[in-house]
Structure formats: C-alpha cells, structure tokens
C-alpha cells in the first residue's frame, strides 16, 4: 500500500470512528466472540471470508473460508481452506461445522432464506452461528445513502469497498423466520449468536 493510499485509509478510519464511535466496539465484540468459539476442537466455516485473514488470528482444527470471489491475496493453507461457492449452495456434509461466521456479508445475499437453510444444514447440533451486519443507522451508512450514486461509486472505488447490493431488511425478516429452529441470543443491535 502506497503512502498516499495509507494516509487516505488512516483519514477514513479516523472519520468513521469520529462519526460512529461504536464502530470499533462492534469489531471488538465480534472478535471476542470469535476467539471464544474457535481454537482446539472447532470446525469453522467463515462465510464471505474475503482474503481469509481471520484464520491467522483465530486458529481452529479446521477452517474453511467461503466466498464467491477469489481475492488475489487470499490465504488458504491447510488446515485452512478456501472454497469459491455461494453460501446459498454449500458443498459440505450435514453437521460438518461447529461454528459458522458471516462478517458483514449477510446483507448482500440475493436469497438469504437459502443461505440460512444451508448454514443450518452444515451446522452440527449445539453449534454456533455468529453474524455481524452493518448498522443501518450508522451516520456513515446514512450519509452514503444521501450521496449521489456517481459520487458514492467513486468513493467506494477509492477505498476499495465492495460494490455489492445490500438487502438488509430482507435478511432481517429471514432470520426472524428461522427463530423456530434457532435460539437467538441478542448481544446488541448488530450481533446475533445463534445455537441450534
């Protein structure tokens, strides 16, 4: 990363934390939960893994990152694997994983019902689902919605942000419908930890 790009990212990070002071805390909460659920004995599926860098910070007996896009710098050395597939059609056996995590990805699913059915299928009994979504009421998100589309696309390109459509309300309704099969423990507005 060049000096000007690094400076721009530092400025952006500072701006985000100024506009949304809880931003850091959400990540800290997510990482703390992930740390407790990984480690020895864990079989972890990380949906929408991106470059799959969480595998270094949170080791498990088996880690499988799933994404629809092959990021050039993605990590996938055994026992960590990268599978290019949609969360809506997972090629794994029933009950294969003790943990399924999805970090700021569920709001981009075209068909969240299918993705949640697959998550439930590959999760072993007593397993955990950890979901972190964007805060629809964050000043950064609200500001982004107020910007003209052309300016928003330029900013997203400048910050290497993913340009996937979001379906937050659609996903929220899907997870509510799954409560008959999953126990949902609300940790905060943006975190849900589900157990079968």
From the number of C-beta atoms within 10 Å of its C-beta (0-12, 13-18, 19+), residue 64 rates as buried
Please give the Cα distance from 130 to 33 (Å, whole number): 8
Quick one: pLDDT at residue 38?
95
Two tokens at 46? 């990380």
Two tokens at 94? 């029933």
Quick one: pLDDT at residue 168?
47
Quick one: pLDDT at residue 159?
61
Could you tell me if 193 and 187 are in contact, meaning their C-beta atoms sit under 8 angstroms apart? yes
Could you tell me if 170 and 114 are in contact, meaning their C-beta atoms sit under 8 angstroms apart? no
Please give the Cα distance from 152 to 139 (Å, whole number): 15
Quick one: pLDDT at residue 190?
37
What DSSP state is assigned to residue 115? H
In order of their start, the domains of the chain are 28-195 (3.40.50.150)
Please give the Cα distance from 45 to 49 (Å, whole number): 9
Please give the Cα distance from 79 to 19 (Å, whole number): 39
Bridge partner list, 186: 192
pLDDT digits (tens, 9 = 90+) for 120-162: 999 999 999 998 887 777 776 777 778 887 887 777 677 655 5
Count each helix (H run) and each strand (E run) in the chain, helices first: 7, 7
Q: pLDDT tens digits for the chain (196 residues)?
A: 445 556 666 777 787 778 877 766 677 788 889 999 999 999 999 998 887 778 778 989 999 999 988 777 776 666 678 888 999 999 999 999 999 999 888 888 888 889 999 999 999 999 999 988 877 777 767 777 788 878 877 776 776 555 455 544 444 554 444 443 433 333 333 344 444 3
From the number of C-beta atoms within 10 Å of its C-beta (0-12, 13-18, 19+), residue 196 rates as middle
pTM: 0.68
């Amino acid at each position: 990363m060049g000096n000007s790009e690094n400076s721009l990212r530092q400025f952006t990070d500072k701006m985000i934390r100024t506009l949304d002071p809880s931003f850091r805390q959400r990540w800290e909460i997510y990482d703390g939960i992930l740390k407790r659920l990984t480690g020895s004995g864990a079989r972890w599926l990380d949906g929408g893994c991106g470059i799959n860098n969480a595998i270094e910070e949170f080791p498990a007996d088996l880690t499988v990152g799933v994404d629809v896009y092959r990021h050039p710098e993605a990590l996938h050395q055994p026992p960590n694997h990268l599978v290019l597939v949609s969360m809506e059609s997972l090629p794994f056996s029933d009950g294969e994983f003790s943990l399924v995590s999805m970090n700021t990805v569920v709001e981009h699913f075209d068909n969240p019902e299918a993705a949640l059915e697959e998550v439930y299928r590959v999760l072993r009994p007593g397993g955990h689902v950890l979901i972190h979504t964007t805060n629809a009421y964050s000043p950064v998100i609200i500001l982004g919605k107020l910007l003209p589309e052309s300016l928003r696309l330029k900013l997203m390109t400048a910050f290497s942000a993913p340009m996937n459509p979001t379906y937050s309300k659609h996903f929220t309704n899907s997870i509510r419908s799954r409560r008959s099969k999953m126990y949902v423990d609300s940790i905060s507005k943006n975190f849900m930890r589900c157990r079968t």
